[in-house]
Each structure stands twice: as structure tokens, then as C-alpha cells.
């Protein structure tokens, strides 16, 4: 199918070259003054469609791309000026004010009887324009074919104050919107039943009789759906969900009003029992890939559910966003693609069902602080702005509350009076920090912390033991689910009558301190000095005398350990698992009993492959759900030699 651009605009032709190397330009010849329409968007859509049909009738086999751009202010449509005087009047009206630029897009093929349309709206603010600057621009005599009498690329240095939205839309061809329409135009449709589910991606699977597989986000096993997909050479196709014709019995209404837009949860509209079933299927599938001949003989227990389905997280990092002059708090939007985090907008929230009910009271206070300060939210695209994140840490048993306001250093803010508001509103507030963070990445780092109120740490309990939680120290995000893991480890250690245990990646020492009740001696190792300081502090807090902690890279610590020093090894690594060097060192020590706690089934299976090949036997596997409504899964593997 040939591509035709129904426009004589050199700007549109130049932009279209970013998508198509070869296309033909065929102006429609349409007299736009004959198009009726008071509403600016309606007028633009009608005009673009008329252009597309006029050219499509002459080239019925080809794809015709048509666009129409209008400028609107005060409810008026500013089209292409008929004279210099009209152009002058348009620019005077736009001077020092905000206006909207609307571009309507239409894709049309007559013989396919297919027409798609969409639009993009961008807000543009002009500086006050002195009459001499207007006259200088008009003297260039380039205004005649421009909606609103200007081309952004010609005036942006002198006229433009601010632009909110797609820059290319103002130039005349919104490329992102056009790409979306093109994908839809060339898609084919299919109706089928979802029979499988792919984690952690969260994709429903449709398999057809001819061996084709379709992966579609937002679809669950048991759904009868209509999907759209791009035909390709392979047998696996990425598909887009168009509609759910018959919902799965496991579907349910999501209780959170923000679900579907916010990236905090993925499966709130799927019954929790079904979530657990799919997580076990995922774990089994991963193990099957690594142990195809033996996976049936592995003892994989049922997934232990989180004690709390909602309000289970004791730590949550929220982002500041901004719309116009209004600043708000929320989470980055949900995407079903690998779009870079920097491109995700902040979804405004008024509650969060996986964090704490206190969000409903906290957010209005911090939003008011931001608005009254007159300082903007941080913009990831420009690396400018002030307000970045609000981090909430909460003791789920103690009720202790720690708040960290993360900003840049681009301004200063007085928080003393605001702190009084917080303490009056939240009696459980024990710690309030202001942190300056000037890194460009959208991650929370405690670069330059200032303690504004209270103590440096809060407390919570695990299995009746007290633990300090510092601002940057690691503590399990779902403490009630963590207790299930620690109970399981203690039960196994008691059965083994372990005398000496070594804990690698010990963090703030929670596992080791819990095991100190049933093991003669426990040594914890972690590379992070702050974690080790907290671990020692926690040992003293609980009167534990048979546990000690070492700050060292794991590989360096293992070289100092001789064979026979320990009869139990506990590994709780980050998502990347154990390094190849560390794994070799662990194998060489031949510690008879090994507990592997993993937050990533893929790296767990990878490391198990090496451990089993070295002589370890896998006794059983217990999955525990730390994060309901997400794809994450914690797994305990018990091994022995």
C-alpha cells in the first residue's frame, strides 16, 4: 500500500519523513472556508476528513494521511489569515496569553473502507508581543499558510513563553499520535478465549489451532476477548485488548478508583485466590525451564497468602506531579510497554490501598505546602523544579510514622510551621526529614538529609522482636508476610538443630536476629555499613548476644571463612541473585544446610541449577506472597547436602 500525504505543507512533509522514507505528496485542493463548524475540534476533524476523502477518491488503493491544525482562543478558531491585517489582529490577540493548538489526523483508504481519526491538543503561552516584533515577523511574509498566523519554529525564540504538550503538534504533525493511528490502521482483529497467563509481564495468552500465540495485556484466563494485533512473520504476536466479550469468573471490580491508570498495582481486578494460583503456575513454569526432566518431582508448596490483602506496605515512595499551576501527589502511570520511566506521567491519587489509610490525610497537607510555596514540581524532561517525592514509612504494629520530603536544592523552604501542622494531625509521627536530591534519575536517594522533627529512626516488631527502621535502611516492605518467612526458617533451623548459621545479604539483621532464638550462633554479612550499624543496634535492642554482624562485600567475607565453620547458610540476595564468584565460593564451603530466600524466581532457579549440580538436594520450596495485586513473589528454597 502506497502512502500519500494530503498536504502541501513542507513542515508536515519533513516530519513525515521520520516515519516513512517514501511517500507521495498530493494536496487536496480543498477550500477550507466551506467547512462549517463552530467547535474548534469538530472543525479540525471535519476539515482533515474532507482532505483525506478528496485525495482518497483519486487514489482508492492507497493510504491517505491528512491533517488540519487550528489555533483557538476565547472560543474562536484562528485559521489561516486572509490578509496581513488579519494576521496582525491574530498575533495581537495571542500576545501575553495562553491558547490551544489542535491538530486533527485522519487515515483513509477508500477500497478498504477504513477511516481512522484522532487529535492532539497542545497549550501554548506567548510572551507579551511589542508591536515592532509583530511587524518584524509579518515582514517575513511567511504567515499566510499558518493557522494563527505563525509557525512555532519561526517565532519560538521571541514569542514563546511556555509549551505544554506535543511540540510537533504545534509544528503541524503530532508524530506520536500518528504512530498510534498507523498501528491501529494496519492491525488485524481476532476473537478468542484467554487460556494462559504470562508473569511477570501480566499478559493473557490466546493460542489458536494453527499454532499462533497472542499475548495481550489486561486479559485473564477465562476471558472471551476481542483483540487487535500487527501481523508478523513469527508465531507469537503482541496484541491490544479491544473489548472483553465475556469476563472470566475470576474477574472482580477493582476497589481502588485509580486502578488501571496508576502503576502501583497490576491485578486488583483479579480475585486474590486466582492471583495466588497464577503465581504458583509462574514459579512452576520457571523451574520447568531449568529442570525440564525433574520439575514434577520438586516439592512446591501452595503460595502462602499475605496476611493483609490491602494496606500491607510499610514503605511507599510517591511522586509530585503538576498540571498548570496545581501540584499533586501520586504514582507513575501504568504502561504495558517498556516505555522508559522518564516518559511516564504522575497519576494523581487521593488514596492508596496498598500503602496506608493515612495517605488520604497526608496528601492534602503536602499539596497545600507545595502550592503555597510557589515552587514547581520537578520535571524529568528539563531537570528543573523543586518538589520530587514523599516517602512514607510506617510501623504496621507500632503505628510509628516517618515522613521524608525529597526536593532539589534549587530553592529553600521553611518547614517549621508545616511541621507543627503534621504533629497536630498525626500523633504517631516520630520522624520528619527534608532531603535534598539533585540527581537526574527518578529514584529516591538520601543525598543530603536534614532531620526536621523527632528521632532518626522509628520502630516496629517482627515475631515479638523490636527493630529500628532508619530512613535509608532495608526492612521488609510487608512485615506481616515477612513473619511467615521467618517462622518457616526458624522451624527448619529448629528441626535441623543448627548450631552455627551464616547469613549473607543480611540487611538490618531481621532474619539473623529471629534465628538467634533457635541457633547457637549467628553471623550476618552485608556490604552496606548503614545496614550493619542498624543490625547491631537491633541486636542490642533485643538483648541478643549470640548474633554478630560484619560489613563486607559477600565475596570478600567468604574468602575468610573456612570449611566446617557453619552448619547452616542463609542467603537472601537482591533480585540479581548471587554473583558467579560468590556462588562458587558458597559451593566450595560445602555447608550442609542452605536456606535460599529469593524475591526473583528466575535468578533463584538459575542459582539452584548450580547448587544442585554441586551436590545439594532441594528439599522443598515455599512461595509467599509479599505483594498482593502485583507480579512479585517471595520464595524460600530449603537445600541440604
CATH number at residue 607: 3.40.50.150
Q: Is residue 548 in some structural domain?
A: yes
So which residues are the catalytic ones? 68
Claim: this prediction has a pTM higher than 0.75: yes
Q: Is residue 569 in some structural domain?
A: yes
Q: Is residue 486 in some structural domain?
A: yes
Q: Cα-flanking dihedrals φ and ψ of residue 236, to 5°?
A: -110, 125
427 in the same domain as 373: yes
Distance CA 511, CA 516 (A): 9
Overall domain count for the chain: 3
162 in the same domain as 54: yes
445 in the same domain as 357: yes
Candidates 204, 191, 213; CA nearest to 248 is: 204
532 in the same domain as 427: no
Q: Are strands 547-551 and 521-526 parallel, antiparallel or unpaired?
A: parallel
Taking the chain (641 residues) in runs of 10, the rounded mean pLDDT of each run is 92 94 92 78 92 96 94 87 93 94 95 94 93 92 88 85 89 92 91 96 94 95 95 89 96 94 93 97 95 85 96 97 91 65 78 96 96 93 92 96 96 92 96 94 90 96 96 92 97 96 96 96 95 96 96 94 93 95 95 97 96 95 97 96 92
396 in the same domain as 451: yes
The CATH number of residue 136's host domain is 3.90.950.10
610 in the same domain as 573: yes
Distance CA 641, CA 637 (A): 13
**DSSP readout, 293-319?**
TTGGGS-BPPPBPPS-SSS--SEEEEE
Q: Is residue 426 in some structural domain?
A: yes
For residues 290 and 609, the answer to whether their CB atoms sit within 8 Å is yes
504 in the same domain as 440: no
pLDDT at 76: 85
Q: Which residue has the cell 511540540?
A: 167
Here the cell at position 388 is 520530587
The CATH number of residue 382's host domain is 2.40.50.1070
Q: Is residue 306 in some structural domain?
A: no
Q: Is residue 349 in some structural domain?
A: yes
User: Which residues form the domain of 34?
Assistant: 3-185
Distance CA 124, CA 478 (A): 45
Here the cell at position 636 is 524460600
617 in the same domain as 524: yes
Q: Give burial (CB, 10 Å; 0-12/13-18/19+) of 218.
A: middle
Last residue of a domain, one of 185, 201, 223: 185
- CA distances to 12, 32, 36, 69 from 117, rounded to whole Å, are 17, 18, 18, 14
Query: Which residues lie across from 103 on neighbouring strands?
Result: 69, 120
Q: Cα-flanking dihedrals φ and ψ of residue 479, to 5°?
A: -65, -35
Q: Is residue 60 in some structural domain?
A: yes
177 in the same domain as 33: yes
Last residue of a domain, one of 159, 185, 211: 185
pLDDT at 153: 82
449 in the same domain as 502: no
pLDDT at 147: 86
Q: How many CA atoms lie within 13 A of 457 on its CB side?
A: 20
Q: Is residue 220 in some structural domain?
A: no
587 in the same domain as 498: yes
Distance CA 37, CA 47 (A): 9
Last residue of a domain, one of 185, 208, 239: 185
115 in the same domain as 43: yes
Amino acid at each position: 500500500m502506497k502512502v500519500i500525504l494530503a498536504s502541501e505543507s513542507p513542515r508536515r512533509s519533513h516530519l513525515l519523513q521520520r516515519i516513512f522514507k517514501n511517500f507521495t505528496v498530493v494536496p487536496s485542493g480543498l477550500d477550507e472556508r466551506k467547512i462549517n463548524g463552530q467547535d474548534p475540534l469538530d472543525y479540525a476533524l471535519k476539515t482533515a476528513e474532507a482532505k483525506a476523502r478528496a485525495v482518497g477518491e483519486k487514489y482508492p488503493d492507497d493510504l491517505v494521511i491528512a491533517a488540519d491544525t487550528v489555533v483557538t482562543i476565547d472560543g474562536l478558531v484562528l485559521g489561516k489569515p486572509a490578509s496581513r491585517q488579519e494576521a496582525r489582529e491574530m498575533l495581537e490577540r495571542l500576545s501575553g496569553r495562553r491558547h490551544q493548538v489542535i491538530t486533527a489526523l485522519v487515515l483513509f483508504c477508500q477500497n478498504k473502507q477504513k477511516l481512522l481519526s484522532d487529535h492532539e491538543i497542545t497549550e501554548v503561552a506567548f510572551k507579551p508581543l511589542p508591536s515592532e516584533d509583530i511587524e518584524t515577523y509579518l515582514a517575513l511574509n511567511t504567515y499566510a499558510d499558518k493557522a494563527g498566523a505563525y509557525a512555532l519554529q519561526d517565532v519560538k525564540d521571541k514569542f514563546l513563553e511556555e509549551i505544554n504538550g506535543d511540540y510537533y503538534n504545534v509544528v503541524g504533525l503530532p508524530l506520536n499520535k500518528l504512530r498510534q493511528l498507523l498501528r491501529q490502521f494496519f492491525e488485524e482483529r481476532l476473537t478468542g478465549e484467554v487460556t494462559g497467563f504470562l508473569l511477570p509481564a501480566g499478559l493473557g495468552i490466546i493460542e489458536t489451532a494453527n499454532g499462533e500465540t497472542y499475548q495481550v495485556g489486561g486479559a485473564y484466563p477465562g476471558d472471551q476477548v476481542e483483540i487487535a494485533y500487527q501481523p508478523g512473520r513469527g508465531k507469537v504476536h503482541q496484541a491490544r485488548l479491544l473489548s472483553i466479550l465475556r469476563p472470566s469468573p475470576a474477574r472482580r471490580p477493582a476497589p481502588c478508583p485509580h486502578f488501571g491508570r496508576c502503576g502501583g498495582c497490576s491485578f486488583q481486578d483479579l480475585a486474590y485466590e486466582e492471583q495466588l494460583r497464577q503465581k504458583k503456575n509462574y514459579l512452576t513454569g520457571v523451574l520447568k525451564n531449568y529442570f525440564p526432566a525433574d520439575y514434577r518431582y520438586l516439592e512446591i508448596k501452595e503460595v502462602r497468602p499475605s496476611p493483609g490483602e490491602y494496606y500491607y506496605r510499610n514503605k511507599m515512595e510517591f511522586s509530585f506531579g503538576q498540571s498548570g499551576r496545581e501540584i499533586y501527589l501520586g504514582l507513575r502511570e501504568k504502561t504495558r510497554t517498556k516505555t522508559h520511566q522518564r516518559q511516564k506521567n504522575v497519576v494523581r491519587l487521593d488514596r492508596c490501598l496498598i500503602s496506608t489509610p493515612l495517605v488520604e490525610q497526608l496528601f492534602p497537607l503536602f499539596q497545600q505546602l507545595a502550592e503555597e510555596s510557589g515552587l514547581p514540581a520537578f520535571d524529568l524532561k528539563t531537570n528543573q523544579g523543586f518538589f520530587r517525592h514523599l516517602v512514607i514509612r510506617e510501623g504496621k504494629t507500632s503505628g510509628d510514622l516517618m515522613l521524608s520530603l525529597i526536593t532539589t536544592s534549587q530553592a529553600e523552604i521553611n518547614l517549621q510551621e508545616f511541621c507543627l501542622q503534621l504533629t497536630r494531625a498525626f500523633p504517631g509521627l516520630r520522624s520528619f526529614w527534608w532531603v535534598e536530591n539533585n540527581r537526574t534519575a527518578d529514584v529516591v536517594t538520601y543525598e543530603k538529609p536534614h532531620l526536621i522533627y523527632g528521632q532518626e529512626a522509628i520502630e516496629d516488631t517482627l515475631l515479638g522482636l523490636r527493630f529500628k527502621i532508619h530512613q535509608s535502611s532495608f526492612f521488609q516492605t510487608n512485615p506481616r508476610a515477612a513473619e511467615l518467612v521467618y517462622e518457616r526458617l526458624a522451624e527448619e533451623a529448629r528441626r535441623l538443630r543448627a548450631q552455627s548459621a551464616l547469613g549473607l545479604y543480611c540487611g538490618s539483621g531481621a532474619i539473623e536476629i529471629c534465628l538467634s532464638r533457635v541457633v547457637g550462633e549467628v553471623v550476618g554479612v552485608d556490604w552496606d555499613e548503614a545496614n550493619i550499624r542498624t543490625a547491631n543496634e537491633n541486636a542490642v535492642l533485643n538483648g541478643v548476644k549470640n548474633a554478630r554482624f560484619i560489613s563486607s562485600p559477600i565475596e570478600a567475607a567468604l574468602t575468610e571463612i573456612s570449611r566446617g565453620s557453619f552448619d547452616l547458610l542463609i542467603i537472601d540476595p537482591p533480585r540479581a541473585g548471587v554473583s558467579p564468584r560468590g556462588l562458587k565460593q558458597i559451593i566450595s564451603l560445602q555447608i550442609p544446610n542452605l536456606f535460599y530466600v529469593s524475591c526473583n524466581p528466575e535468578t533463584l532457579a538459575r542459582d539452584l541449577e548450580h547448587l544442585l549440580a554441586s551436590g545439594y538436594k532441594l528439599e522443598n520450596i515455599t512461595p509467599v506472597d509479599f505483594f498482593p495485586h502485583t507480579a512479585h513473589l517471595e520464595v524460600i528454597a530449603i537445600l541440604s547436602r
